[in-house]
Structure 1
Amino acid sequence: MKKRSLYLLLALLIILGSISGCSSSTSPAEDNPQQVAETIEITDDFGKVITLEKPAEKIVSLAPSQTEILFAIGAGEKVVGVTTADDYPEEVKEIEKVGGFDGWNLEMIIALEPDLVINYGQGSEEDNKRFEEAGIVVASFLPETIDDVMDTIEKIGVLTGNSDKAKEVVEDMKSERDEIISKVKDLETKRVFYEVYNDPLMTAGPGSFIDELINLAGGENIAKDADSPYPQYDVEKLIEKNPEVYLIPDDSTTTLETLKERPGFENIDAIKNSQVYFLDADIVSRAGPRIIQGLEEIAKAIHPEID
């Protein structure tokens, strides 16, 4: 009887040992989940599923706004190529320039061996094909609103492994936007015109960042009835609508003096009351984190009394 009990005890110990062995064989992966590679996947603004085996380590940015996003979320050290239009932050001046919006140096981009190229807009089908043939993943973004910009920031955060910082940037943007809106919400709405170009006269209509910024900043865009985001605008209609605030990008050839010399402009309230403001063109037009600074600039132009 004692022998039988001993055999049963030994059998039980063997079974328990086997179970323990099976369990311990899987524990390293459970204890250290980083050993298991997780595929990164997002969908870009053109419905393309972007897949990376790991966070991008070498990136070429084909737009200043995308470059600003990368630096803002802490991925600046991964950027190996930028455009000739890139000028912010200061560090981009030391990064390889791969061309401008009139064309890219494809050979240079491929030679940089990036694992990710980020487009503003869909980009050239032929260029994208060349990149993909070289094993380079291409992601394309075309944000049209501030919320779209925030979405782009978070997606680029995923692709670069900087999700936490990207979310932090977005939360800061939301907080700053809400603060600006709260300052102007009870103030009188003013009629605003934004001059994109002077000859022919062009403005920012519905669907443009400027239109959204004007509305959020407590203004009424007098070109809200335009049929495109950046239309030509009739001078007579402009004079008739009589804007109270006149906004101009600081890279324009228009000056306050040339504006006053235009026939009929002496009757515009904004001109008569010296409510003409030159805004930082990059801040108010680039679809990046600084777009909120653009909102603040426009809000202060429309309502100088706010802090």
Structure 2
Amino acid sequence: MPFWTVGLASAQTLVDDRGVAITIDKPPQRIVSLLPSLTETVCALDACDRLVGVDDYSNWPEAARQLPRVGGLEDASVERIVALRPDLVLLAKSARVTGRLEGLGLRVMALEPKSMKDMERVLGKVGQVLGREPQAHALWRQLDAGVSETAAQVPKRARGKRVYFEVNSAPYAASESSFIGETLARLGAANVVPASLGPFPKLNPEFVVRANPQVIMVGDRNAVALSARPGWDTIDAVRDNRVCVFTAAEGDVLVRPGPRMVEAAQIMARCLEKHFP
């Protein structure tokens, strides 16, 4: 049962990822989401109809594509957000507009999952906010089971292979402590980027050369001329052409910590199976 009843006088107080307490007296009906993973989470809990605006990058599910756009992480338009009259704005901890929105009296909740534990917590918290906590818990169990089912189908030969997952060409990588790294671990892969560097560290390219991954996973925009990077032609994955290049749509699935995590696991599992059947 939700933590409130329609017409209930008492309010519910939740703490967001900034440690800020947010008081909510009833489930919000006009939500602006400024993070694609949060947009997808709201929709996965059958509340897409409560979204009145989204960031420029929210493109799934199809219903989200039809909503008004209010900018991105760095350039969200306060004016456009205010004009949508939201009773809740969901955004990342790093969003620049948080203070301005709160200064204008808008209710803001920052939720930014980086690990699977975070994903479970954020899904549950969004479920609480929407008055759909039981559905959120049920969805998490379904997602977690789906990843385990995918992992069970990974060929034994692929297990233990050294994998480098590049998030951005700086290069930024997904380490063992990120949700991507945790998914790789559940698939039986050995991530060459340790958790001690943080979830998504910026690496010296020489680090990857020394780590010598057997498989590289990278988006199509960053995959151009991998072998032209100094020393990278000596990496096993590059030399043996074990590089999985993901489309932009696949990249969205992979780098968003949300309800498409099973699909993300399946994409990575197919990569491992392709090179180590």
TM-score tier after normalising by the smaller chain length: 0.7 to 0.9
Alignment of structure 1 residues 1-307 onto 2, 5 Å: 36-121=8-93, 123-124=95-96, 127-184=97-154, 188-198=159-169, 200-224=170-194, 227-250=197-220, 252-255=221-224, 258-262=225-229, 264-279=231-246, 280-304=250-274
Aligned residues: 269
Deviation by residue 1:49-88 (Cα, 9 ceiling, x = unmatched)? 2211110010010111110111110110010111111111
Deviation by residue 1:25-46 (Cα, 9 ceiling, x = unmatched)? xxxxxxxx75544523322122
Checking the alignment, whether the CA contact within 8 Å between 2:155 and 2:273 is kept in structure 1 is no
Give TM-score, length-normalised by structure 1.
0.78
How far apart are 1:262 and its partner, in Å?
A: 4.3
Distance 1:128 1:264 in 2: 43
Percent identity over the alignment?
29
Checking the alignment, whether the CA contact within 8 Å between 1:247 and 1:277 is kept in structure 2 is yes
Checking the alignment, whether the CA contact within 8 Å between 1:285 and 1:291 is kept in structure 2 is no
Give TM-score, length-normalised by structure 2.
0.85
Secondary structure in 2 matching 1:302: helix
User: In the superposition, relative to structure 1, how do residues 40 and 225 fare at CA in structure 2: closer, same or farther (>3 Å)?
Assistant: closer
User: In the superposition, relative to structure 1, how do residues 235 and 49 fare at CA in structure 2: closer, same or farther (>3 Å)?
Assistant: closer
Greater Rg by CA:
1
> What is the aligned-residue RMSD (CA, Å)?
2.6
Checking the alignment, whether the CA contact within 8 Å between 1:191 and 1:245 is kept in structure 2 is yes
Checking the alignment, whether the CA contact within 8 Å between 1:115 and 1:135 is kept in structure 2 is no
Deviation by residue 1:237-270 (Cα, 9 ceiling, x = unmatched)? 43333211111023x2423xx2344454443322
Distance 1:296 1:230 in 2: 21
Long gaps (5+) in structure 2: none
Long gaps (5+) in structure 1: 1-32
User: In the superposition, relative to structure 1, how do residues 297 and 37 fare at CA in structure 2: closer, same or farther (>3 Å)?
Assistant: same
